[in-house]
Amino acid sequence: MFNTKYLLIVILAALVAVSCSDFLDEEVRSQVGDTRFNTPDGFNEIVNAAYTNLRHYYGTERGHGMTEGYGVDIFHEGADGSHKQWNFYGVQLNPATGWVSQLWDFMYEGINMANTAISRGNQVEGLDPDIVRVRTAEMRFLRAHYYFVLVQQYGAVHITTEETQGVEIEASRSPVSAVFDLIVDDLEHAIDNLPIEQSDYGRATRPAAEHLLARVLLTRASEFYASEADSQPDDYDRAAALAERVINNYNFSLLEDVADVWAVGNEVHEEVIWSMQYTYNLLLNEGGNNSHLYYLTTYDEMPGMNRVVQYGRPWKRYRPTEFLYDDLLGPDTREFDSRYNAFFRDVFYATVSGTFTVNGVDGVEIAEGDTAIYFPGVEWTEAEKQAKPYTVLSPSDYNPRDFPTLKKHEDPNRAEMNQTQGGRDFLAFRLAETHLIAAEALLLGSGTVEDATEHLNIVRRRAAWPGQEAAMELVPGEVDLVTIIDERARELMGEQFRWYDLKRTGMLLDRAYQYNPEVANVGLMQEYHLLRPIPQTQIDRTAGGESAFPQNPGY
């Protein structure tokens, strides 16, 4: 199918630790033969390696830019970055763009590793059949995950369930319905064969597969996919049932304080259903979780500040839109909803001492540890600002360099301030999202709006300031699909969901034009942008070219 080095990739990936600190340590070998994967050690290596390529999706600039930071309603472009045209759907979003081909290749490399492990499992001698069964189910979970990313981004894609051992140039685009059928079948197999828990934290589990299948069915049944994906009449009901099974049948629970969900050093807790594992060992980190780089303001250019590990290396790729900080989590909302405070850093403390010009006032003394920057979140007069011995940035002062910092991904445990490779886990599936999946599926399926409302209120009550729980509660008459999508923005911002959420619900174009200033100002975004272009490299390396592997319309 691809003019690639698949077998070489598989071999190299098997030499590197993959998914979890508990199964990261691999013996490095300079040469690995094809028959090694038929041995117990080789089989375990390829299984572990199959997790690797999700690290090229979760926590990367590519992953955030293609799902969360660009072209949506709650984030838009910051000062820096070479992919800004993804934000306003410019001409550089084309079949030759690096992100387009990179994501495609990484997902298919992951699929081929999973296929390899699935095909080799029955050939392994000396390994407990129950272990082979569970590991094969992990591979079905991963293959489904990889295909789910592909079908959402590109639409109809090539389906392969066989190990690729050489150069293949035959390929075709299978219907979206067939891709979803494979994803659902893989996840149903995974649910039937995975344990509830694994001794190695980070491996796929039954509740993780149930959560992902609930998300898949919610997507297949949605406005964007329903006809093309051949959704089934009970998809919403099945999604709701799966989500409620995850909520009710296991030991997951929402943390009492929403701020603790993303607290540094607290990545393993009761709300996490499945996470992408990273490590601070740079040799085993596959590029690292780089999420900490992208949502940061240029704090290090302000009086009393320099760059430090604690506050991060500000790549300022993505900044909140006014819709996010002024409407969804606006000043009135913050009186009872703690998530602006929990998810955004609005105070920076001085890292250096000296005399500075602050808010236009000369000779201001700042000592290390003093407040140096404050984002009040509401407008202050110039007189109010000048009365403070620290920089004050009101909403009217926000610009591509200066804006409240999303702090979910901060990583102060990196070895030094300019290190890009982060080591924190990426929380891919968590229980708050499960409740939101249940709410949407119940609302749109045969459930009741009362039940959907209660799932929303569970998430909202947890986010309330103490004593404000009643103020956070919704009544059924207030709940519709817009309410749920807005709630997903408040709860899941920065977690690589937003482009998918808006697309599947038919809101992407309207929301992007309404709330993303660059989309509105440039005016290039069109209906065809709801799919990404097929990589030109894929078309070129397929026998028959575009006649055999056609490009998506519009590109």
| pLDDT tens digits along 412-464 | 999 999 999 999 999 999 999 999 999 999 999 999 999 999 999 999 999 99
Structure pTM? 0.94
**Phi, psi angles (nearest 5°) of residue 81:** 120, 145
- Percent of the chain residues topping a pLDDT of 90: 89
Question: Distance between CA 220 and CA 208 in Å, rounded?
Answer: 18
Question: Distance between CA 305 and CA 317 in Å, rounded?
Answer: 20
What's the confidence (pLDDT) of residue 1?
34
List Cβ<8 Å contacts ≥24 apart for 361-367.
361/386, 364/303, 364/389, 365/389, 366/303, 366/304, 366/390
Nearest to 364 by CA among 397, 393, 391: 391
**Phi, psi angles (nearest 5°) of residue 288:** 85, 165
Q: Tell whether the model's pLDDT for residue 285 goes beyond 90.
A: no
First and final C-alpha spacing in the chain: 22
- C-alpha dist (Å) from residue 214 to 25, 96, 505: 33, 34, 16
Locate 181 and state its tokens. 């059928």
Q: Tell whether the model's pLDDT for residue 217 goes beyond 70.
A: yes
Cα atoms in the 13 Å half-sphere on the side-chain side of 305? 25
Q: Tell whether the model's pLDDT for residue 360 goes beyond 50.
A: yes
Q: Tell whether the model's pLDDT for residue 260 goes beyond 70.
A: yes
Question: Distance between CA 306 and CA 402 in Å, rounded?
Answer: 15
When pLDDT is averaged across residues 160-169 and rounded to a whole number, the result is 88
User: Within its chain, how far is the Cα of 397 from the centroid?
Assistant: 29
When pLDDT is averaged across residues 349-365 and rounded to a whole number, the result is 98
Answer for the pair 39, 124: CB distance below 8 angstroms, yes or no: yes
What's the confidence (pLDDT) of residue 2?
29
Q: Report residue 222's pLDDT band, with 50, 70 and 90 as the boundaries.
A: very high
Locate 415 and state its tokens. 């070895």
What's the confidence (pLDDT) of residue 12?
40
- C-alpha dist (Å) from residue 245 to 195, 251, 434, 455, 465: 15, 11, 10, 13, 29
What's the confidence (pLDDT) of residue 33?
61
Answer for the pair 319, 76: CB distance below 8 angstroms, yes or no: yes
What's the confidence (pLDDT) of residue 22?
45
Cβ contacts of residue 499 below 8 Å, gap of 6+?
A: 66, 67, 68, 71, 72, 508
When pLDDT is averaged across residues 99-117 and rounded to a whole number, the result is 98
Q: Tell whether the model's pLDDT for residue 491 goes beyond 90.
A: yes
Residue 405: strand, helix, or coil: strand
User: Within its chain, how far is the Cα of 118 from the centroid?
Assistant: 26
Locate 384 and state its tokens. 């109010």
What's the confidence (pLDDT) of residue 225?
94
Question: Which residue has tokens 């344990």?
Answer: 195
Average pLDDT, the chain: 93
Question: Distance between CA 548 and CA 545 in Å, rounded?
Answer: 6
Q: Tell whether the model's pLDDT for residue 219 goes beyond 60.
A: yes
What's the confidence (pLDDT) of residue 27?
42
| pLDDT tens digits along 2-32 | 232 333 333 343 333 333 444 433 443 445 5
Nearest to 174 by CA among 156, 186, 149, 161: 156
Answer for the pair 433, 456: CB distance below 8 angstroms, yes or no: no
- Pairing status of strand 391-392 against strand 371-374: parallel
What's the confidence (pLDDT) of residue 286?
84
Residue 157: strand, helix, or coil: strand
φ/ψ bin of 315: left (φ > 0), alpha (ψ from -120 to 50), beta (otherwise): alpha
- Give the chain's domains with CATH numbers: 6-289+531-548 (1.25.40.390), 295-408 (no CATH)
| pLDDT tens digits along 230-255 | 889 999 999 999 999 999 999 999 99
Rg over CA atoms, the chain: 24
When pLDDT is averaged across residues 382-393 and rounded to a whole number, the result is 98
